Amino acid sequence: MRRLEFLDHPGPIPFAHRGGRGNWPENSWPAFENAVGLGYRYLETDVRATSDGVVLLLHDETLERVTDSTGSISSLTYREAAGIRLRSPETVHEQGAEIPRLDQLLDRWPDIRLNIDIKEPGAVAPTVDVIRRANAVGRVCVTSFRDATIRQARSLLGENLCVGGGTGAVGSLRLQSLLPTAAQRGGRLRARVDVVQVPTMFRGVPVCDARFVRCAARLGLPVHAWTINDADEMERLLALGVEGLITDYPETLKSHLISRGQWWGSS
C-alpha cells in the first residue's frame, strides 16, 4: 500500500475538527489560529461553493445555525456572502468573524495539512481548482459521504491525492469486518481509497470497533475516528490501533498525546 504525503506522520494524527469548534465558532479564523498556535499540523474543515464558484469553509447546507444570515450559501454570490458573519450557539468567543475561503486557508499556512470534506456535488470542481492553483495536492485529503464525489476529485487531481472512503466504502468495510477472520483474508474494497474516517457509532450501531480496525489494517487502510472529545475515549481508540483522532477540543487531544509521548506538533 502506497504511503501518501498527507499520511506521512510519525504517530497518531491529531486533527482540529472544523478548526477546533469546542471553544470557537466552527470553521472560523480564530478557531484555526488557536489550533495552529497549539502546534497542530492537521486541520479538518468543510467546503461549499457560492453561486459564482467561490469555495467557502462551511458545514451546513443553510446558514442559520452558524451565521447571522439565512438561506443557502449556494444561492449567493461571493460578494453577497462576504457580508455574512459567523456566530456560534456553543461559545461567546470571537463572534462576528467572516466565513473564510479555502484558498485563504491554504495560503495562510503553507505547511499545514487540510482534511477537506466536500459537502455538495457543486463544490467539487471549484474545490479541485483551488487545490490545483495552490499546488496543494500532496497536503490535502479529500473526503465526502458521497463516493462519487471522491471518485471525481481523484480523477481530476490524480493518484497523489489522498482520499477518504465515502459511505459506500465504509459500509463495505464494516460488513467485511463482521465476517470470520478466514473469510476476510484476501478481501479488498471495490473503492480505491487511502484512509477511512468514521464515527465510533452511527444511529446506535457500532462502526469503529476492534474488528473494524483489524480488518482495515489487513487492507493497509489507516482508520481515523471522529468526533472524539473525551480523553478516555481517545485512549480506548488509540489502544485499538486507530491512527488519527478528529476532535472539537484540540487542547484535550494535545494533552493526551503528550501524556503518551506521541505529540509531534510544532510546539
Contact of 224 with 195, CB cutoff 8 Å = yes
From 59, 93, 224, 256, the catalytic residue: 59
d(CA 10, CA 33): 23
Assign residue 168 a region: left if phi > 0, alpha if psi is -120 to 50, beta otherwise?
alpha
Grid coordinates representing 160 are 497523489
Our answer to whether residue 17 is catalytic in this structure is yes
Cβ neighbour number for residue 92 with a 10 Å cutoff: 9
DSSP assignment of 76-121 equals S-HHHHTT-BB--SS--TTTTPBPPBHHHHHHH-TT-EEEEEE-SG
Identify whether 224 is a catalytic site residue: no
Phi, psi for 207 (deg, rounded to 5): -115, -60
Q: Which of 17, 93, 224, 256 is catalytic?
A: 17
Q: Strand 42-49 vs strand 55-57: parallel, antiparallel, or unpaired?
A: antiparallel
* Cα distances (Å, whole numbers) of residue 212 to 64, 97, 139, 233: 36, 40, 26, 16
- DSSP 8-state code for residue 12: P
Q: How far is CA 9 from the centre of its chain?
A: 16
Query: The cell 450557539 sits on which residue?
Result: 89
Residues with catalytic function: 17, 59
